[in-house]
Chains A and B, each alone.
Chain A
């Protein structure tokens, strides 16, 4: 509904066409194929939530070092290009919903980010790359306090049994 309104406004048709504030929901009970139609649903509140979500996304886009919000933003190809080359912060949850998760995972792996092995690994490595962590585990000397701390934490914390 919100997307319809934004599109109509973009096309200059907002004055001539009104978007209905009511709709219908089609629901089913679990395990049943029998649809239950609820007509006359007041969708004003869902509309408001969607508007807030879009606003948040736009605010986030404005934070991209001025790359959005100026210049050729209306050109779909430029926007597409902007999204493709934007900096990403790959997380474990991306795998479950994002089309770009595969590419971002590959980038995270290339940069040796712990996130490639999970969010907990990213926190555990605390900025140390996977290659460096592997080298430290294989006996390389720690170069700074962060690496020394990592080695203390990465050693097997379990006791040796008699």
Chain B
């Protein structure tokens, strides 16, 4: 999807005066209500750990956990232990569930969050607890919570995954909103656009009003300053005076104020899920494979390790802060490329809008079978779109909507716009109730076809494995190291002031 294409879609949505559906299918999986956990956070300004958490499945509703003082790590730790029990049991951690994690599930355990800042909080929690050496009885729960949050944060970055869903991203995947990209990160703004209204101006006003209320992990500054700050100060004074009644009263006030904010965020996320659930468009058939893939990835990156840990082994948990070396970073980069290609491959055959995008990018052709060479089992296809496809010899093309019907490109003639193709099936095929002729059947002649480039994600997966390998001590990657830190006296142009010390003296 190119930038200008997205701009054109937004302009048309503006003309229509409302968000317009993106394509004729939905490309986001929504799991069963009891498997769909909604998780929202609040943090105190300047702090990185949560101040309050709302957690609960769509079926059961939210539970709220708060700490009266977000700067007190003991209190926050106690709160996160309770949250940890719920999150770990949702993902079937062996110590917190009777079932244990498995890659073979019919359904998928999902976690939905309102938006980007809430996903970042997963990493903050991982940073705080995954490798903590804190001396407390329930530290194992906190460590397990940290490792799970790290796995969820990493999984969230894998293209096509269906485990960790940002509500704003899901809505943007399914609709084109007539509003600037930067505003589309606000869940309330998007939901404002989706509310029924009489005119575009009314919808715009509704969306802008909703936008004034924070949905992020931080509170609106006036709420934090005018409502919560006095309560926190009162709690602090009561604690110093050892006045337990006053502490309890202030803590209840803080809990009530935070709960109201958390409930709003939880409910807006639930509204987004319900809205997408009510959408009458079909679900992309490729989502089934993406869901299975997500279950497998989550089991490999987290479930398997959690099982080993529960069995008393010491599994390798990835570092929260770094890939540690360039070789691992390269491997992970290629793995994500492969995931992006695979997701595209799985979705494109079930989504005609994605097929049009692929063709516009030159990754396939619209053409007619002009000849069928029965003897050599070869077809000649003359294409009418695009002007210049990105195809080359030995590429594979799949018939749109039927990924199992693959043809190898034997030759490409750009002047006459013809392709010579060799079908990779031979006998007649029955796919999803539809009959397809044998490859050498003359009835293929004259058929109009959409043929899509069959992205070789398997090849990229192998490239990832190769990238991660060390080829002896002369491997060029061994030469890559961290850049030296630069002293404040120097910027990218050199000395900031004339009398700055020599770089060698300060670095």
A-side interface residues toward B, CB under 8 Å? Answer: 28, 30-33, 42, 44-46, 48-49, 92-93, 95-96, 116-121, 124, 130, 133-134, 137-138, 153-154, 156-159, 161-162
The answer to whether B180 touches A118, judged by C-beta atoms less than 8 angstroms apart, is yes
Q: Which of B11, B128, B489 contacts A121 (CB 8 A)?
A: B11
Residues of chain A contacted by B489 (CB below 8 angstroms): 45
Contacts beyond the supplied A31-B127, A137-B11, A158-B360: 16 A-B pairs with Cβ under 8 Å? A30-B124, A30-B127, A31-B48, A31-B49, A31-B126, A48-B496, A117-B10, A120-B6, A121-B10, A124-B11, A137-B12, A138-B15, A157-B8, A161-B356, A161-B400, A161-B450
Residues of chain A contacted by B496 (CB below 8 angstroms): 45, 48-49
Give A48 to B494 CA distance when docked, in angstroms.
14
Q: List 11 A-B contacts (CB under 8 A).
A: A32-B48, A92-B181, A95-B182, A116-B180, A117-B11, A117-B178, A118-B181, A118-B182, A120-B3, A121-B180, A138-B15
Give A44 to B489 CA distance when docked, in angstroms.
8
B-side interface residues toward A, CB under 8 Å? Answer: 3-8, 10-12, 14-15, 47-49, 71, 73, 124-129, 178-183, 321, 352-353, 355-357, 359-360, 366, 385-386, 400, 448-450, 488-489, 491, 496-497, 500
List the A residue with the shortest CB-CB distance to B201: A109
Give A124 to B5 CA distance when docked, in angstroms.
11
The answer to whether B182 touches A96, judged by C-beta atoms less than 8 angstroms apart, is yes
Give A31 to B120 CA distance when docked, in angstroms.
11
Residues of chain B contacted by A119 (CB below 8 angstroms): 180
Q: How far is the CB of B17 from chain A (nearest CB, A)?
A: 9
Residues of chain B contacted by A137 (CB below 8 angstroms): 11-12, 15
List the B residue with the shortest CB-CB distance to A162: B448
Most buried by A among B182, B183, B359, B449: B182
The answer to whether B497 touches A45, judged by C-beta atoms less than 8 angstroms apart, is yes
Q: How far is the CB of A79 from chain B (nearest CB, A)?
A: 25
The answer to whether B7 touches A120, judged by C-beta atoms less than 8 angstroms apart, is yes
Residues of chain B contacted by A96 (CB below 8 angstroms): 182
Residues of chain B contacted by A116 (CB below 8 angstroms): 180
Give A161 to B182 CA distance when docked, in angstroms.
33
Residues of chain A contacted by B14 (CB below 8 angstroms): 117, 130, 134
Q: Which of B11, B49, B500 contacts A45 (CB 8 A)?
A: B500
Give A33 to B359 CA distance when docked, in angstroms.
52
Q: How far is the CB of B449 from chain A (nearest CB, A)?
A: 8
Q: How far is the CB of A98 from chain B (nearest CB, A)?
A: 12
Give A116 to B359 CA distance when docked, in angstroms.
31
Q: Which of A121, A156, A161 contacts B355 (CB 8 A)?
A: A161
The answer to whether A93 touches B71, judged by C-beta atoms less than 8 angstroms apart, is no
Give A71 to B183 CA distance when docked, in angstroms.
40
A-B interface, 3 closest residue pairs, ranked by CB to CB distance from nearest:
A31-B127, A31-B128, A118-B180
The answer to whether A33 touches B10, judged by C-beta atoms less than 8 angstroms apart, is no
Residues of chain A contacted by B448 (CB below 8 angstroms): 162
The answer to whether B4 touches A134, judged by C-beta atoms less than 8 angstroms apart, is no
Q: Which of A32, A120, A161 contacts B366 (CB 8 A)?
A: A161
The answer to whether B8 touches A156, judged by C-beta atoms less than 8 angstroms apart, is yes
Give A55 to B5 CA distance when docked, in angstroms.
41
Q: Which of B127, B129, B183, B360 contacts A159 (CB 8 A)?
A: B360
List the A residue with the shortest CB-CB distance to B130: A31
Q: Which of B73, B127, B180 contacts A92 (CB 8 A)?
A: B180
The answer to whether B357 touches A158, judged by C-beta atoms less than 8 angstroms apart, is yes
Give A44 to B356 CA distance when docked, in angstroms.
58
Q: How far is the CB of B470 from chain A (nearest CB, A)?
A: 30
Q: How far is the CB of A141 from chain B (nearest CB, A)?
A: 17
Q: Which of B126, B181, B321, B450 contacts A162 (CB 8 A)?
A: B450
User: Contacts A158-B356, A161-B352 hold; do A32 and B11 have CB atoms under 8 A apart?
Assistant: no
Residues of chain A contacted by B385 (CB below 8 angstroms): 159
Give A130 to B12 CA distance when docked, in angstroms.
11
Give A157 to B9 CA distance when docked, in angstroms.
10
Residues of chain A contacted by B450 (CB below 8 angstroms): 161-162
The answer to whether B10 touches A158, judged by C-beta atoms less than 8 angstroms apart, is no
Q: How far is the CB of A1 from chain B (nearest CB, A)?
A: 14
User: Contacts A30-B124, A117-B178 hold; do A159 and B366 have CB atoms under 8 A apart?
Assistant: yes
Residues of chain A contacted by B178 (CB below 8 angstroms): 117
Give A30 to B491 CA distance when docked, in angstroms.
25
User: Contacts A45-B497, A158-B5 hold; do A117 and B180 have CB atoms under 8 A apart?
Assistant: yes
Q: How far is the CB of A35 from chain B (nearest CB, A)?
A: 11
